[in-house]
Structure 1
Amino acid sequence: MQHAPLVIDIAGTALTDDDRRRLAHPLVGGMILFGRNWQDRAQLTALCAEIKALRPDLLVCVDHEGGRVQRFRTDGFTHLPPMRALGARWMQDAGPLPGEGALAAMAAATACGYVLGAELRACGVDFSFTPVLDLDHGGSTVIGDRAFARDPRVVAMLARCLAHGLLQAGMANCGKHFPGHGFVRADSHTDMPVDRRSLKAILADDAQPYRWLDGVLTAVMPAHVVYPRVDARPAGFSRRWLQDVLRGTLGFGGAIFSDDLSMAGARRLDGRTLDYAEAALAALDAGCDLALLCNQSLDGGEALDALIDGVARAQVEGRWQPSEASELRRLALLPLAPAPGWEALMTQPAYMQALWKLP
């Protein structure tokens, strides 16, 4: 079985010949959409259909969490709240019964997941990188209101509900950023964050949602954060974190995505800066099933070609071996059944009821 571990992007609102050539490559297993790939629902639906006509097995992904990380916001897409709003609802007791706020927050989280997944799937998108499982320690600007709460128990319960809503819409989920990005202040898009806590401290706090969501999470994305008391390498390049802790201690059996390999925190390893192919190979060797490279199509895509060629060369030379298990985990993220189109979705009672439950 061919292993297709690379997830790449495109520059525009329709496929070019170069896009088609790259997406047809057997090492490419998915593509990620951004706001620049959006014009309106008709265009997005046509783009996704064109991708699927080229390769039905390609996983069409997007970062669509709600709040400030929501790629599609117009032409009927519901403006979803930041996840912190759900955590705040949990803390409210609006009625005479204790826990009423928590129950309302859980219902709203399920509704968010359903609306999020159903609207994306109605346009042909397969998968969103959500939910954020980072804890809101209060100092991280890149996480901030993307986190549900500070308490890992609240995070786990609301994430479970959101994942249930996604499942109702026929969409898998992705917990991020393992084992936790919320404690550090630095933004891994531009810096290399360092978290100096012990493994015991992290497992007892930030990583707890991953333990409690065993059997619920279908994918995980590790953080571009270094935890030097555990490993000198960032979590996404660390066999200790991905294989010993995530797969071993926590028993996770789903797909592992690298975070974006174009980020500043992604490619500084062992005292040098890796090129994109080297970074992808390092992530795969550490235990990632899929390697994600974003925003490299904008200048013609030479970096994407170098990534694909570099991984292909490593395979031919025996420096990288395809993994059947990884490919099966990728394929398991694809929706199992067709989704209703937009007009049909708008009249579904479950969708209309979910809209009423949003905060």
Structure 2
Amino acid sequence: MTQHAPLIIDVAGLSLSKIDRQRLKHPLVGGIILFARNWQDRAQLTQLCLQIKKVRRDLLICVDHEGGHVQRFKTDGFTHLPPMRALGEMWLQDGKGGKAGEGAGAMQATNAASACGYVLGAELRACGVDFSFTPVLDLDFGESGVIGDRAFARDPRMVSLLAKSLMHGLLQSGMANCGKHFPGHGFVKADSHTAIPVDKRSLKAILNEDAAPYGWLNTTLSSVMPAHVIYPKVDTRPAGFSAKWLNDILRGQLGFGGAIFSDDLSMAGARLLDGQQVSYTQAAVAALNAGCDMVLLCNQCLPNSELGGRAVDELIEGLTEAQLKGSWQPQEAGEERRRALLPRTPATEWDALMVQPDYMHALSLIP
């Protein structure tokens, strides 16, 4: 079988170091996630992506690039995309002040969402980035500071149709998508980056609202990222470490067949399982055995850090040992789902993109 490469890691700076290349060559590493620290300008980003692909063509180059305040690249020509709430607000206008009448706002918003997705994907791909972790499918209950205006709306039907429109735009650019954070992070106040959020609602309540978009979009979603949130009425483990959530509910009940990423294993919500502190390797093994195809470990290769990416090396070594001991086994289907996220069409180069009629038209539709 093809070697399953489930690890998504980061690099320190603007270009690859010798140790970065060694890590990226490891057969368990399947991709890289970029951050603002990896950005100087378009020429540098393009060169960095070329360096990564020169190490291995099959590495998936990822970034969190949603719009609003979660957009890693904002200068040197990159379009400032709005937060997704702006599209929900456009929907709710419903033709107010115009002659189009009820429903016009919804149609305008879905069209704008497709334009946002196309511009987002096309600009990233023009620089060599393969994939963005977007769209957010969380509902805006008005409680979560970490989700906030990243959510389209409170209504799961609005969220689903706006997300589907944005994913259509991504598809036009040749980019896959990632719905997050399953089954929903919008109801809890705590931030899973720094705490362990607990959502005490029933499974029925969550399925009727937060998780509804995942079922409605099961033919459209390329991948899903679960939340580091505990839903004790369903499982004592956070969703990303729960076979009940990932296999029984997401795949079985909601019919999702794409790739599943863990959220960042360095977040507080990933470091405590069954009441016990766990290592990055233990967290990775738990997530993979629960049904994740890939796991992320972020912000470990920071510039001028004393640790210098030691956690990444420990995770690579730990997962290798887990495989040898049989506590984790590579999955051919997981590797196929990872590779399916790689772009299948050539990207349009930046200068050509800037004068492409579809791109110019999409820019005019972005709020």
TM-score by length of 2: 0.97
Q: Which amino acid aligns with 1:47?
A: L
In the other structure, the counterpart of 1:285 is: 289
In the other structure, the counterpart of 1:154 is: 158
Q: Which amino acid aligns with 1:328?
A: E
* Pairing 1:195–2:199 present: yes
* Pairing 1:98–2:99 present: no
* 1:3-41 deviations in Å (ceiling 9; x for gaps): 000000001000000100000000000000000000000
Tell me how far apart the structure 2 counterparts of residues 197 and 319 of structure 1 sit (CA, whole Å): 33
Tell me how far apart the structure 2 counterparts of residues 217 and 271 of structure 1 sit (CA, whole Å): 33
Tell me how far apart the structure 1 counterparts of residues 226 and 328 of structure 2 sit (CA, whole Å): 21
SS of the residue 2:262 aligns to: coil
User: How far is 1:165 from its partner?
Assistant: 0.1
Tell me how far apart the structure 1 counterparts of residues 106 and 190 of structure 2 sit (CA, whole Å): 31
Tell me how far apart the structure 1 counterparts of residues 28 and 218 of structure 2 sit (CA, whole Å): 29
Report matched runs for 1:214-225 at 5 Å: 214-225=218-229
User: How far is 1:117 from its partner?
Assistant: 0.1
TM-score by length of 1: 0.99
SS of the residue 1:256 aligns to: strand
Q: Which amino acid aligns with 1:106?
A: T
In the other structure, the counterpart of 2:336 is: 328
* Pairing 1:79–2:83 present: no
* Pairing 1:64–2:65 present: yes
Q: How much is the aligned-residue C-alpha RMSD, in angstroms?
A: 0.5
Q: Which of 172, 176, 186 is residue 172 of structure 1 equivalent to?
A: 176
In the other structure, the counterpart of 1:250 is: 254
In the other structure, the counterpart of 2:271 is: 267
* Pairing 1:339–2:320 present: no
User: How far is 1:57 from its partner?
Assistant: 0.1
In the other structure, the counterpart of 1:119 is: 123
In the other structure, the counterpart of 2:140 is: 136
Tell me how far apart the structure 2 counterparts of residues 118 and 246 of structure 1 sit (CA, whole Å): 29
SS of the residue 2:225 aligns to: strand
User: How far is 1:65 from its partner?
Assistant: 0.1
Q: Which of 288, 296, 310 is residue 318 of structure 2 equivalent to?
A: 310
* Pairing 1:21–2:22 present: yes
Tell me how far apart the structure 1 counterparts of residues 22 and 251 of structure 2 sit (CA, whole Å): 35
Tell me how far apart the structure 1 counterparts of residues 275 and 86 of structure 2 sit (CA, whole Å): 41
In the other structure, the counterpart of 1:356 is: 364
Tell me how far apart the structure 1 counterparts of residues 301 and 285 of structure 2 sit (CA, whole Å): 20
In the other structure, the counterpart of 1:41 is: 42
SS of the residue 1:39 aligns to: coil
SS of the residue 1:225 aligns to: coil
Show structure 2 runs of 5+ residues with no match: none
In the other structure, the counterpart of 2:31 is: 30
Tell me how far apart the structure 1 counterparts of residues 162 and 326 of structure 2 sit (CA, whole Å): 44
Q: Which amino acid aligns with 1:134?
A: D
SS of the residue 1:91 aligns to: helix
Indicate the percent of aligned positions where both proteins have the same amino acid: 71
Q: Which amino acid aligns with 2:344?
A: L
In the other structure, the counterpart of 2:235 is: 231
Tell me how far apart the structure 1 counterparts of residues 224 and 218 of structure 2 sit (CA, whole Å): 11
User: How far is 1:329 from its partner?
Assistant: 0.1
User: How far is 1:93 from its partner?
Assistant: 2.6
User: How far is 1:317 from its partner?
Assistant: 1.4
Tell me how far apart the structure 1 counterparts of residues 202 and 31 of structure 2 sit (CA, whole Å): 35
Tell me how far apart the structure 1 counterparts of residues 359 and 47 of structure 2 sit (CA, whole Å): 23
SS of the residue 2:177 aligns to: coil
Tell me how far apart the structure 1 counterparts of residues 325 and 237 of structure 2 sit (CA, whole Å): 25
SS of the residue 2:263 aligns to: coil
Tell me how far apart the structure 1 counterparts of residues 80 and 248 of structure 2 sit (CA, whole Å): 39
SS of the residue 1:233 aligns to: coil
Tell me how far apart the structure 1 counterparts of residues 71 and 31 of structure 2 sit (CA, whole Å): 19
Show structure 1 runs of 5+ residues with no match: none
SS of the residue 1:257 aligns to: strand
